[in-house]
Structure 1
Amino acid sequence: MTDEKRRAADWFRSLRDRICDAFEGLEDAQTSGPFADLAPGRFERKPTKRHSDDGSDAGGGEMRVMRGGRCFEKVGVNISEVYGTLAPPAQRAMAARKDMPGMAEDPRFWASGISLVAHMRSPKVPAVHMNTRMFWTPHGWWFGGGSDLNPMVEVPQDTAFFHAQQQAACDPHGADLYPRYKAWADEYFMIRHWNEARGVGGIFYDDHCSGDWNADFAFTQDVGRAFLKAFVPIVENRMFEEWTQADRDHQLFRRGRYAEFNLVYDRGTTFGLQTGHNPEAVLMSLPPLAAWP
């Protein structure tokens, strides 16, 4: 699948570029509010490496992180292309998620994807997460990903708009996909020890393999394209609203819940740390400031 791997990795890279350009445009547009006197934020770039046990080349990627902007307090948009041999903990995790006979005999893998988390300056603008990825082993391949919205206080029309964009991305590929992957997101993005949702959901899917690689790649591309359509209009509608210190305090509390989910339950965090990827890149999703009761 050499050609398919290259096409997927190139797509994730091009999507990253498109999103970073749009986010820097939002920084330029934030011309009022308490942080408007700051220089518009720009992404800093940093290469990342995956470390293998035997010192062999194991791939890596690039972090792009913007901190202290006008509109974004912290946002990271990472891409990666990693490969090698799955360590035993990751092999066990893979076996628990998908039937891939033969992993013990041949635990080679390749994975590429894009991962994004944005924590906003304004408590009126929701945080957001998006990722899409392709995973390959000699025993099978699949796509995964999704996008979910995390407002500090839900605005029903924003929730409806965000979900409508997710459904529009899914429906051309099968009428069953949006309801199935929405339900998966609702289940996955639960902070179980608090019995509360992390946000207002979106879609989440894993192990997506119909047997038609081109069709599954096209679906994953549409999920990626839907992200800016779903998120940027919400930012533009909320970024100039006034907010109070009480709003900020609640934002920091919700960020604490977000951090708890990512450190306790998030599959990507677990997989990245188990496979030796750069911890700074893996933990990019954590907010710059948070609070707990």
Structure 2
Amino acid sequence: MTTFDARQTAAADWFRTLRDRICAAFEALEDDLGGDAAPGRFERRSWERADHSGAPGGGGTMSVMKGRVFEKVGVNISTVHGAFDPEFAKTIPGAAEDPRFFATGISLVAHMVNPHVPAVHMNTRYLVTTKAWFGGGADLNPPIPVEADTADWHAAFKASCDRHDPDYFPRFKAWCDEYFFIKHRNVARGQGGIFYDQLASGDWDADFAFTRDVGETFLGTYPELVRRHMHEDWTAEDRARQLAYRGLYTEFNLVYDRGTLFGLKTGGNIDAILMSLPPVATWE
């Protein structure tokens, strides 16, 4: 049985607890919509992995719901360990010297039934090689942007960042805008948010506290945005805009997303890695 140190255990426990709270909040939204259809509920499926040598390497749990508010939402957690493939290790800070690693995190993507409700992505993670750091963020992805939603989203994450370091929000917002940009289309994937990586200030407790605050801010902000719009009427034209937008979302995740590449290169569960893809999308 693999033994983790206190920091690794604390991070993995936090991501598991956050998963449970987010799933409960999302199921409450399903209950609040009303109507004749049964509200959606999460179904969980656990998986295990082996690293490139064949040795056991941890695993995770997929939590997926398809309901009347959420057309498809996945809230996945994982705790994996082992050794990177030697070539991939060269691309990870601190792994070229020693390919052994530990990684734990939560990854969430929601695609909504109502085109007026914004899709969303959030993930936070803790990774250890010969170095250790936190990363993650959250970004809003409305097919039909609403200025007030975008403003409130950014205000919430600015407040979260400012509680820890006044330099965080301008840095992490700009990083998000740069990262979630579809270069071959010359268009942003969504309305942005924050993105950070390799956060290792020298104060582990402070970095962990910030990462927890990102999760708390998401939980306190996104369900309220859903409630604003989930009862609104929508048209066939609105649905067409939503499906075309999902095509752009898919392109980014398959071409540029680092998390997708990390999962594939470390022998992760394919269904969990590709959970971010929408159930239906269109291209011209």
TM-score by length of 2: 0.97
Matched, 1:28 2:31: yes
Matched, 1:76 2:68: no
After TM superposition, give the deviation of residue 243 of structure 1 in Å.
0.3
* Whole-angstrom CA distance in 2 between matches of 1:49 and 1:179: 38
For these two proteins, the number of residue pairs brought into alignment is 281
Q: What secondary structure sits across from 2:157 in the alignment?
A: helix
Aligned to 1:290: 281
Question: Gaps spanning 5+ residues in structure 2: where?
Answer: none
After TM superposition, give the deviation of residue 54 of structure 1 in Å.
2.8
* Whole-angstrom CA distance in 2 between matches of 1:92 and 1:279: 23
Matched, 1:242 2:245: no
* Whole-angstrom CA distance in 2 between matches of 1:37 and 1:89: 53
Matched, 1:281 2:255: no
Q: What secondary structure sits across from 2:50 in the alignment?
A: coil
1:53-85 deviations in whole A, cap 9, x for unaligned? Answer: 332110001000012x11000000000000000
* Whole-angstrom CA distance in 2 between matches of 1:152 and 1:53: 39
* Whole-angstrom CA distance in 2 between matches of 1:269 and 1:145: 13
* Whole-angstrom CA distance in 1 between matches of 2:183 and 2:272: 25
* Whole-angstrom CA distance in 2 between matches of 1:92 and 1:26: 44
Aligned to 1:50: 49
Aligned to 2:121: 129
* Whole-angstrom CA distance in 1 between matches of 2:16 and 2:80: 14
Q: Is the 8 A contact 1:185 1:204 kept in 2?
A: yes
* Whole-angstrom CA distance in 1 between matches of 2:98 and 2:30: 47
Q: Where does structure 1 differ by over 4 angstroms across 4 or more consecutive aligned residues?
A: none
Q: What secondary structure sits across from 1:168 in the alignment?
A: helix
* Whole-angstrom CA distance in 2 between matches of 1:151 and 1:143: 27
2:146 maps to amino acid: V
Matched, 1:2 2:1: no
Q: Is the 8 A contact 1:166 1:230 kept in 2?
A: no
1:148-175 deviations in whole A, cap 9, x for unaligned? Answer: 0000121010000011111111111110
Aligned to 2:108: 116
* Whole-angstrom CA distance in 1 between matches of 2:165 and 2:97: 36
RMSD: 1.0
* Whole-angstrom CA distance in 1 between matches of 2:193 and 2:9: 28
Q: Where do 1:59-98 residues align within 5 Å?
A: 59-67=58-66, 69-94=67-92, 98=93
Aligned to 1:212: 203
* Whole-angstrom CA distance in 2 between matches of 1:181 and 1:164: 13
* Whole-angstrom CA distance in 2 between matches of 1:163 and 1:50: 37
After TM superposition, give the deviation of residue 104 of structure 1 in Å.
3.3
* Whole-angstrom CA distance in 2 between matches of 1:217 and 1:90: 26
Question: Gaps spanning 5+ residues in structure 1: where?
Answer: none
Matched, 1:160 2:151: yes
After TM superposition, give the deviation of residue 284 of structure 1 in Å.
0.4
Q: What secondary structure sits across from 1:219 in the alignment?
A: helix
Matched, 1:185 2:176: yes
State which of 213, 233, 243 in structure 2 corresponds to 1:252: 243
* Whole-angstrom CA distance in 2 between matches of 1:92 and 1:250: 41
After TM superposition, give the deviation of residue 186 of structure 1 in Å.
0.3
State which of 251, 257, 262 in structure 2 corresponds to 1:266: 257
* Whole-angstrom CA distance in 2 between matches of 1:277 and 1:171: 35
Q: Is the 8 A contact 2:78 2:106 kept in 1?
A: yes
Aligned to 1:106: 98
2:242 maps to amino acid: Q
Matched, 1:16 2:19: yes
Stretch deviating more after TM superposition (73-82 or 83-92): 83-92
State which of 146, 160, 164 in structure 2 corresponds to 1:169: 160
Q: What secondary structure sits across from 1:292 in the alignment?
A: coil
1:120 maps to amino acid: M
TM-score by length of 1: 0.94
* Whole-angstrom CA distance in 2 between matches of 1:88 and 1:254: 37
- Percent same amino acid at aligned positions? 59
After TM superposition, give the deviation of residue 105 of structure 1 in Å.
4.1
Matched, 1:228 2:219: yes
1:114 maps to amino acid: I
Aligned to 2:40: 41
